[in-house]
Structure 1
Amino acid sequence: MSTWKEKLRRTVTVEPVIFLYMTSTFIVTPAYQQMIITKVCQQLLKNDTICNNPEHHKDEEEVQVKASYILLLFNATLSLVSIPPAILLGSWSDHAGRRTVMAFPSVLSLLSGGLLLAIDLLDNRNVYWTLMAAALVGLTGGHVSIFLSCFSYLADLSMGSNSSRTLRMAVAESMIFMGGMIGFLLGGFLEQKYGLKASFGAYMGCHVLALHYIILWLRDPMSVKSTLTVPSEDDTVKEEAQADQSGVFILKYAKLSFKAVFKRRPGQDRLKLHFLIICTFLNNLVAVGDQSILLLYLKYEPREFTTALFGVFNSARMLLLGFGLLGLFPVLMRCMKEMTLAKLSAVFRSASYVLLALSNNTKMVFLVALVGAPAGISQAVIRSLSSAIVEPHEQGAMFSFSASVEASCILIASSIFNGLYPLTLSTFPGMPFIIMAAFMLIVLILLQWISEMPTTQPRLVL
């Protein structure tokens, strides 16, 4: 029984953590967006009857514009607070273990959920209190800390097998979309049936489950660092003494993150890693921008989505993205190279955003979900290739740097898309999605460039 349990522990690892965290994120995202829209409406129109029924004020351009700018402030706060923890926590997890870093975001997300619930319950609370909720989530890096710790964990387990690593990371990446499907579907149902309070309660419940899973089930994998690059005891003592004496213990981990990315590597591996990080940046820039304005865009005429229909669309979209990684990707890996699949994924994602920009009815919007089904493949391949380039003891440091880049996307994407959307609202509301499609074409060019670089010999794993 003990052997069976250990095998199961190595098979089912961080996937439920990502699933629960992303489920909670996709439950709360439309909920706080809707709360911001409603509170802005109450402030501007002074009419609770209209503002408590979202379908009545969806065409108010003034409400849309101000709500977009407040969402920009929300995302800017989340991004700025997230960047420092994201830089530090990955390198720290290389030494302190992955589980501790995984647990941090859920602890403060519980506090953030409680604050959002209080803002909703108290009618006289100013909409700007939501910025405090964003800051609480950002203090431990938010979802980027979950990603860096979970993908570092998988890199530790699959060291020495590139194909196994790619497939495991694809499964973990699919949990983002499966969590999105459940989150959007459940969030839309709870909001429609029981109101925002139920959505915030479900958000907190997911984090309680995630904490219990991390504490009771997960075990930190044995560090491969000890088998490959074992520093001498004198060097370790010397480094620790220097860190303690200089009082820059925290900066030590930030330095390790930068070193893992910018150190010299065989062949063109360093340049390849830099290109992969740029691809990660652009992928996340588009993903954050998408979620920042999608609710506003779909509720605006002529699409006129209700909150429930928005939840159904996002659930269908996430289900197809998850199927693309869990079902389509392993099958296609048998007959096509992973880099080829990554490039095709970028093409389909770009096409889906062009279609979304031109959509003027419900059928066209739902067709976007079908066209974009393979869109998640590219990021899974990018994570696997990045992990294969760095040394085993640099996994957390590399993912930490990548996570800080992802955290900066929240601010940059909000600045671009939440700032652009009000400006194009009266002429071409879909213009931000055309910009997203252009970014995906840049990812395609970079992936083609990477695929033409000579490969270096894989490291010998003892």
Structure 2
Amino acid sequence: MTEWVAELRQLVTVEPVIFWYMTSTFIVSPAYQQLIINKVCYELFEDKSICTNPEPHHHGDKELQQRSSLVLLLYMTIMSLVSIPPALLLGSWSDSAGRRSVMVLPSVLSLAAGAVLICVERLPQVGVLWVLASAAIVGLTGGHVSIFLSCFSYLADVTAGYGAQRSRTVRMAVAESMIFVGGTVGFLLGGFLEEDYGLMAAFGAYMACHVIIILYVALWLRAPRPPAGMPSPLPKDAAIEEDGEAEASRPTGSQFFLVNYLKRTMCSVFRKRPGEERLKLLLLIICSFLNNLIAAGEDPSILLLYLMYEPREFDTEMFGIFNSVRMLLLGCCLLGLFPLLLRCFGEMTLAKLSVVFRAAANVLLAFSTNTWMVFMVAVLGAPAGINQAVIRSLSSAIVEPDEQGEFSTAREHLYLRSSLNISTSDHL
């Protein structure tokens, strides 16, 4: 029984962490947006019935939309900007302190953020700008960047001794699929809770997801052990001393704390590597950045603006169905179809085909004129998540075990910047 549990712990690792985190994210996103709209409406109009039954009242709609959009922009900007310094620190810190601590930190502070949102919802005297405190608290954890860098670095650690690159790629693909599966569950569950039970239930479910993550990491997840026969990596300071840079890299005070970790992160990207490994790594980073930039451009808020007008004329309910189907197909393709295709094709071939299918899906979306064509976009773009899983697998194979967190910080930081640029331009 003990051996069976140990084997299961090696097989099921960070996948539930990603699943529950993405579920919580997609539960809370529409909930805090609706909270902002409600609060702005209550502050604008003395007649509260206008906010509870807005259909007969169209005066003031423009001002309501403008102020709500401004608060949403501030929310996204604060969360993104505040998360940059922690994200830069946590990658290097996870290489020395362990991945589990970094996994738990976002959930601990997310509980505090959820409590702030509940207070804003329940207390009429609390203004709408208090939701920005929730954004700052979530940003202090590094946000989803911390979860992704810790989880995928953990996977890189536990698969470091795998004989075949294919096994590592499959593990990365399964973890990547949890982003979409968790997003589907969170999107559907959040809409159901908000519609039938109100915002309080949605915020409660958001906090419950993070409690589950904390308990799972504490009770189930174990620190990854280096594979048998693999030499332990040199400590960072020892490695730096070998290059004659010990004095320059060792901070003399707390004011150099961030600079030191930032330097380590950049060194993990640009350091010399055997053969053409450094060039491969830089090209993979560029591919990852472009991939994430496209993903940020496919944000649901942008898609909704495109699909709601003629000739498609999607309403919120139809868009919710489409978005759920799209994410579910992305997750199922990574979880089921991709491992089967790896038996017949190479991972690079599948990654290239994934890019082709994604481009074709976006072209079809541009020329879609009715509902069935839009849903065909979800089917055609189902393999779109494969290339990111392959990129993660190939880059983690190049990077040394004691650099996984630092390199993941650099990679996910690019996603954070692309998301910030897209969200800012979308609201302006």
Under TM normalisation by the shorter chain, which class is it?
0.7 to 0.9
Once the two structures are TM-superposed, the CA of residue 266 in structure 1 deviates from its matched residue by 2.7
* Match of residue 10 from structure 2: 10
Matching residue's letter, 2:224: P
| Partner of residue 205 from structure 2, selected from 202, 205, 208 | 202
Q: 1:322 to 1:34 in 2, by over 3 A?
A: same
| Partner of residue 216 from structure 2, selected from 213, 218, 221 | 213
Residues 249 and 260, structure 2, Cα contact 8 Å, conserved in 1: no
Matches within 5 A, 1:170-189: 170-189=173-192
* Match of residue 132 from structure 1: 133
Counterpart CA distance in 2 for 1:11 and 1:55 is 52
- 1:390 equivalent in alignment to 2:399: yes
Q: 1:398 to 1:232 in 2, by over 3 A?
A: closer
Matches within 5 A, 1:13-28: 13-28=13-28
Counterpart CA distance in 2 for 1:152 and 1:158 is 10
Question: Once the two structures are superposed, what CA deviation does each residue of 1:308-330 show, in whole Å capped at 9, x if it has no partner?
Answer: 54433322121101111011211
Q: Secondary structure at the match of 2:222?
A: coil
Residues 285 and 412, structure 1, Cα contact 8 Å, conserved in 2: no
Matching residue's letter, 2:100: R
Once the two structures are TM-superposed, the CA of residue 124 in structure 1 deviates from its matched residue by 4.5
Residues 251 and 260, structure 2, Cα contact 8 Å, conserved in 1: no
Q: 1:234 to 1:113 in 2, by over 3 A?
A: closer
Q: Secondary structure at the match of 2:299?
A: helix
Counterpart CA distance in 2 for 1:215 and 1:184 is 27
Q: 1:411 to 1:331 in 2, by over 3 A?
A: same
Question: Once the two structures are superposed, what CA deviation does each residue of 1:372-400 show, in whole Å capped at 9, x if it has no partner?
Answer: 21111111111111111211221111112
| Partner of residue 263 from structure 2, selected from 255, 265, 268 | 255
Once the two structures are TM-superposed, the CA of residue 340 in structure 1 deviates from its matched residue by 2.2
Residues 172 and 393, structure 2, Cα contact 8 Å, conserved in 1: yes
Once the two structures are TM-superposed, the CA of residue 360 in structure 1 deviates from its matched residue by 5.7
Q: Secondary structure at the match of 1:221?
A: coil
Matching residue's letter, 1:16: P
| Partner of residue 283 from structure 1, selected from 288, 291, 305 | 291
* Match of residue 373 from structure 1: 382
Residues 82 and 404, structure 1, Cα contact 8 Å, conserved in 2: no
Q: 1:25 to 1:54 in 2, by over 3 A?
A: farther
Q: 1:314 to 1:339 in 2, by over 3 A?
A: same
Question: Once the two structures are superposed, what CA deviation does each residue of 1:19-58 show, in whole Å capped at 9, x if it has no partner?
Answer: 0001000111122223333444555566644433577789
| Partner of residue 271 from structure 1, selected from 261, 265, 279 | 279
Identity %: 58
Counterpart CA distance in 2 for 1:56 and 1:23 is 35
* Match of residue 52 from structure 2: 52
Number of positions where the alignment pairs a residue of Structure 1 with one of Structure 2: 419
Once the two structures are TM-superposed, the CA of residue 107 in structure 1 deviates from its matched residue by 0.5
Counterpart CA distance in 2 for 1:232 and 1:211 is 29
Unaligned runs of 5+ in 2: none
Q: Secondary structure at the match of 2:298?
A: helix
Q: 1:266 to 1:124 in 2, by over 3 A?
A: same
Matching residue's letter, 1:316: V
* Match of residue 149 from structure 2: 148
- 1:111 equivalent in alignment to 2:112: yes
Once the two structures are TM-superposed, the CA of residue 191 in structure 1 deviates from its matched residue by 1.1
Matching residue's letter, 2:186: G
* Match of residue 431 from structure 1: none
Unaligned runs of 5+ in 1: 420-462
Counterpart CA distance in 1 for 2:202 and 2:421 is 27
Q: 1:145 to 1:8 in 2, by over 3 A?
A: same
Residues 58 and 300, structure 1, Cα contact 8 Å, conserved in 2: no
| Partner of residue 196 from structure 2, selected from 179, 193, 200 | 193
